[in-house]
Chains A and B, each alone.
Chain A
């Protein structure tokens, strides 16, 4: 099975992200990491490879620094990685990103499955997996929690509001992964050594044979959210029953229940 896993580098989820002077987004000295959802995608890809044989190729769009996300995937066990990097690939909206990724999947050739995390924790869009599937003309098996592949047939359980939807389809297909899939593995010591020595090729748009895709969404302003002007009223005194009674009265007085 030839598998591509699409990853993104993002500020760590524990980062304090703010809009600094000059309107630039800043995450201070917090580390950039592989998008946490993408670790589930890498895990799912590796499990399929272990069950059925084949290769796992990690790809990302970004600058030289984004190679770290690819190295994380390699350290987990991916076989190879490709960085898609071009000065024209900035401020892309999701459909432009999906065009680049779909082109890359086609250029890699003979791909049976593309795995994604459910969304990236920076832009929180969650659109790229379905959009890439649509461009490739492949079924979109988004929000998968369980994946079973048997021959060319796929059965997945998708996490939806009402529980799990059980869907069957055929390869090739796009999958996006949710946390219910199961914990991603940690990179092994051998994996980290292998990743640190890996040669990661970089593809430009020219090498991919496409012009820069046009983005239609623009971001005129990024803002810090309004600060919550709350002072915490601490309920004290008396027994637990008296505190609970007072707290219940306060909550009811807010007239939101």
Chain B
């Protein structure tokens, strides 16, 4: 199968799911990786090291920043000329959007956020979660090219072979009067992206309930609750920094104003699948469980032994998270030699 793989990157740093997509593409035959940007030839080299046979490099000032319309125009031209059987994207914000537009331009469909796939006679049947993972569906596409976006961490990242190279083909960007202009970026707080994280430490309503804390005077009840929650989340952050983990939160914690929305895990937040998910003070509402149930090892720390989160957990501690968390941070520090 002639496969195109779109390499998603931000200022020259690829999102890891792009390399996973090359790995998937290789199982079907030759892979042409698409690298769009300005001054991004180094990415082409890395794409070869992850297994791309050829890189189509569109290096152009017009592609300096991701813009859906400009990127979709170049992508559409390359796909029309190269007639791939299969177009793979990582399921990132940009990958999803480009796949959507490419499907319109190429008069085909998209199978989105796929977690497994099988091929027979050139036709691919995918499996993907729906209802935030409460159900799975199989899908097929009757038209060509088949466009698929792959969920991050659902497929193995191929081993990087230093020095491996392939055919570098420079292609022209489709330039024109595109309707959007990128003014710049406002960065989020630092830290690990939830969807790429191997370990997530996540907090819920219970993180605000430390009875040992006395809020500073002058706060009203709501402010005092948020202040207490922030002290609680600081304990989660301590553990996260020792484990190189991202910090997540339940919808209840986000809605209560404890942490900003980008941390939310669940049906109306991010769906995550880390190796280890440590749920602190999270009871386990169905919409939260839907967002993290495919984590490999789930650890629950909760004072309520009846909390539904324990039904998914491999390890549980029924107790006071304000006592357990600092002790757990200390234990990992010692054991990991940090």
Residues of A within 8 A of B (CB): 11, 13-19, 25, 36-37, 93-95, 98, 121-128, 130-131, 133-135, 138-143, 155, 157-170, 173, 178-180, 215-225, 228, 230, 232-236, 239-241, 243-245, 247-252, 254, 256-257
Contact = CB atoms under 8 A, between A and B. Distances in A.
11 contacts: A17-B135, A94-B109, A124-B132, A130-B100, A130-B101, A180-B262, A219-B138, A221-B137, A235-B315, A240-B324, A241-B330
Nearest to A12: B287
A105 B89 CA distance: 29
B100 A131 contact: yes
Contacts, number: 264
A243 B317 CA distance: 8
B135 A19 contact: yes
Contacts of B66: 165
Contact of A251 (B72, B101, B276): B276
Contacts of B112: 124-127
Contacts of B261: 178-180
Nearest to A223: B136
Contacts of A232: 300, 310-311, 313-316
Interface string B291-317: 001001111100001000011111111
A40 B168 CA distance: 45
Interface string B94-116: 10110111011100111111000
A212 to B, nearest CB: 15
B143 interface: yes
A251 B97 contact: no
Nearest to B13: A162
A24 B135 CA distance: 11
Given A140-B68, A241-B327, A168 B181 contact: yes
A168 to B, nearest CB: 5
A217 B15 CA distance: 27
Contact of B186 (A19, A141, A157, A252): A157
Interface in B223-281: 243, 260-262, 264, 267-269, 275-276
B323 A240 contact: yes
Contacts of A180: 260-262
Given A162-B188, A166-B182, A216 B317 contact: no
Instruction: State the 9 A-B residue pairs at the shortest beta-carbon distance, nearest first.
Output: A244-B327, A256-B275, A163-B188, A130-B100, A248-B331, A240-B323, A127-B100, A216-B109, A134-B104
Contacts of B318: 234, 236
Contact of B136 (A14, A94, A222): A222
Contacts of A243: 317, 319, 324, 327
A229 B95 CA distance: 33
B262 A168 contact: no
Contacts of B310: 232, 234
Given A16-B286, A95-B109, A216-B108, A167 B181 contact: yes
A252 to B, nearest CB: 6
B207 interface: no
Contacts of B305: 234
B299 A162 contact: no
B163 interface: no
Interface string B118-148: 0000000100011111111111111100000
Most buried by A among B93, B108, B137: B93
B328 interface: yes
B268 A179 contact: yes
